[in-house]
Amino acid sequence: MTTLPPLAGLTVVSLEQAVAAPFATRQLADLGARVIKIERPGSGDFARGYDEVVHGNSSYFVWLNRGKESLTLDVKSPDGRAILGELLDGADVLVQNLGPGAAQRLGIDAPALAHRHPRVIPCTVSGWGTTGPWADRKAYDLLVQCEAGLLSITGTEAETVKVGISVADIAAGMYAYSGILTALLRRATTGAVSAVEVSLFEALAEWMGAPATYTRYGPSQPSRVGAQHATIVPYGPYDTADGQILLAVQNDREWRALCTAVLDDPSIADDPRFAVNSARVEHRTELNALIAARLATFTTAAAGAVLDEAGVANAGINQLEDFLEHPVLAGRGRWHEVAVPGGTAAALQPPADLADVEPVMGAVPAVGEHSDAILHDLGRSPADVATLRERGVV
C-alpha cells in the first residue's frame, strides 16, 4: 500500500518572491502539500531572472520551486483580489513575503485574514519585522548579514567576507517552515489558528547566538581568522605536502591523540600554552606553526589516514565539483531528477527522512503553467479565462 505524503490534502497559497518564502513553501510541497504560487503576469517571480543556466531557467528558481503550481495573477486588480479570496476559501495556509504594508493594502494581513478566512494560517516573512523602527525598511540577504554582525566575524583579519550562500533568507525560510508546521499541529489538536511571523533579521540573529554570547561575556568579539574556528583551536585547514586538509579537535581525547599521532610528542598535550582550549586560542600562532610543520611532511591522503586512525576529525577541502560527486550523496541515493521547463535537473532529496514516506519532488513550473486549470477549478469558463488574460489579470 502506498503511504500518502504527510501533508497531502493541505493547500498553501503563496504570494512569494526570491528565496525565503519560496524555500519555506518548497519544504511543504516536498511533504505533499498543494502549493499554489501566485506570480506576476508576464514576468513571474523575479528570481526567475537571476540566471539562465538550467535549460534557460534560473538555478535559484529551480532549487526553490519544485512541486508547485504557478498561477499568474494581478492581485492589485479587483478581479485578481476576488480570485485570491476564492483560493483562500479553500486554503489552509497563506504565505507571503510582500513589501512593507502590501499585505494590509490587499486585505490579507493576519487580522483581515482572521476575519474573512478564519481557518487559514497566515505566515508573514519580513525583513526586520512588521512592527518596530525598521518595519518599512527594505531587506536583502547581504544587508541583513551586515546588520546582524555576521560579516564582522567572517573573513580574514584584513578583509570582511559575506557568507557564500543566502544564509539570512535560508534561516528565515526554515523558521517559517517549522512555524507553519507548528501552527498546523496546533490547529489540528486545539482548533486554534496562530499567525506565524518570521523576519530575516531575527532568524539570523538566532544563528548568531554563539558569537553574540561570547562577545557579551568574553574579552572581545571573536576575531576574523579565515577558515579557522574563532574560538576552538586547532580547528581549520592546514597545508600538506600536496594540498590541504582540515582537522578539528573538539575535546581533550582528540587533542591528546593529535599530539601523539601527528605532532609525535605526547608531552605537548600538557604544555601550559596548549593544555586547554582557551590557552590554545591565545597561543594559536605557535600551535598552528607546530601542526603545519608536521603536516607539511604528509601527503593529504597520508594525513587523512593518520588522523582517521587517531580518531581526529578531518575533511577534504572540496570544490563544488567535488561536492556534486560526493560519495556520501551518491552512496545514499540522495540525487533525483526533477522536471524543469525545457528538460530535467538534478535535485537533492530533502534532508529529513521520514520512514515509509517518499518526498514528492514534483516539477518546477513555468510562469503561469497552471493558471487555466486553477481558474477552471474555481468555476471560470475558458471564455472567462481568455477575458481575464486580455485584461492583464492573469
Which of the residues are catalytic? 229
Which of 136, 9, 36, 48 shows the shortest CA–CA distance to 96?
36
Cβ(140)–Cβ(114) under 8 Å? no
Cβ(341)–Cβ(56) under 8 Å? yes
Task: State how far the Cα of 101 lies from the Cα of 169, in Å rounded to an integer.
Answer: 20
Cβ(365)–Cβ(338) under 8 Å? no
Cβ(198)–Cβ(124) under 8 Å? yes
Task: State how far the Cα of 282 lies from the Cα of 383, in Å rounded to an integer.
Answer: 75
Task: State how far the Cα of 198 lies from the Cα of 174, in Å rounded to an integer.
Answer: 10
For cell 582537522, the residue is: 247
Beta sheet of 244-248, edge-to-edge order: 235-239, 244-248, 313-315
Residue 178, all three cell numbers: 517549522
Task: State how far the Cα of 260 lies from the Cα of 85, in Å rounded to an integer.
Answer: 69
